[in-house]
A = this chain, B = another copy of it.
């Protein structure tokens, strides 16, 4: 998403002194300065990577081919890379030792089904292909960070774990990120995802969501002959009416909607089945759980009320099935969190104004929910029609993306002889 034309830099308290000190030391270091320049010099190289990655299909739940390609690219740049059980590509660039571990990630998957033509087409300075921005740009940006660290033999203190994640989009339900934090056994102290292009935006929090497909099934019957039989549609109507009047807190923002509904077969039949998709979201993890705990019993009660209305026992009447179809954990972070501070410090040093400081739902959700400092940064350039086959990318000041990802990472993990890590080691 581009910035609005009248975007103004946000006014925020200054970056914490120890973070600013680390930024200043790195910005004054000749090697780091040269590395930052090299990212700009390699702008075309990053774009070539981006186009090549785009043309390797990565449909939802089938990122294998792109994953193997990404392993090869990381290994060509000198890292040992592997694919974990969930399908994530993971490659560690070791620090000097005893430092924190930062993940620098971008997601492998696109929203496009297998068979969608991924061939990139150029029109002037615009490159068009499904997924070219989201998130081939992020993958190319973190490769460029690695290329530069390797070229300048920058010895970090902490480790940087380069990750190509699976299942960030839609029904992928953050499965790659969830595996990384919940099952991989890898110790992680901080997390940066490069997703989208906007370098003027720092994502400071994670919108959590829980989604259910709610089914009601009943005996059904002819509207006249079987009148007196509980109706699946009547039952769900009872639930929706109550949900419609729920009040939620505005801070942290907490929302709900009954998004889709379908049921019944003919106008003159008592509906035997209806299903509805429910979306619940919150910027607060606790508030999301509370909302869920308020809404789910409403469905159970609605079935009971509908059955009682007609004198039916629950076992003979309308029955409820709750099918979870999505859970993106969420939460907020303090502005003082190291990853957010490092990102803002790096932006200032690179002359990139901060226009937006916001919540969204990305791979960083899982980290934020677990209290691990995390953000999502833009990969640089301009984009349009994301999640649409007309998706396009323009490499306008594109190098700012990998520059920002690199400098933020270095502030966090520290550079030997230059700066101490800002990222805290977790217990």
Contact = CB atoms under 8 A, between A and B. Distances in A.
Nearest to A263: B261
Interface string A222-237: 0110010001011111
B211 A309 contact: no
Interface in A252-288: 253, 255-271, 274, 276-279, 281
A328 to B, nearest CB: 11
A325 interface: yes
B244 A271 contact: no
A260 B263 contact: yes
A270 B392 CA distance: 27
Contacts of A262: 261-263
A211 to B, nearest CB: 5
A279 B223 CA distance: 8
A218 to B, nearest CB: 12
A234 B223 contact: no
A306 B259 contact: no
A321 B331 CA distance: 41
A240 interface: yes
A285 to B, nearest CB: 16
B255 A260 contact: no
A237 B231 contact: no
A241 B268 CA distance: 19
Contacts of A82: none
A279 B225 CA distance: 13
Contact of A271 (B257, B263, B281): B257
B261 A224 contact: no
A91 interface: no
Interface of A: 207, 209, 211, 223-224, 227, 231, 233-245, 253, 255-271, 274, 276-279, 281, 306, 309, 325-326
Given A237-B240, A261-B271, 4 more contacts: A227-B256, A257-B271, A260-B264, A260-B266
For the complex of A and B, list the 4 residue pairs with the smallest distance between their C-beta atoms, beginning with the closest.
Answer: A237-B240, A241-B241, A260-B264, A234-B244
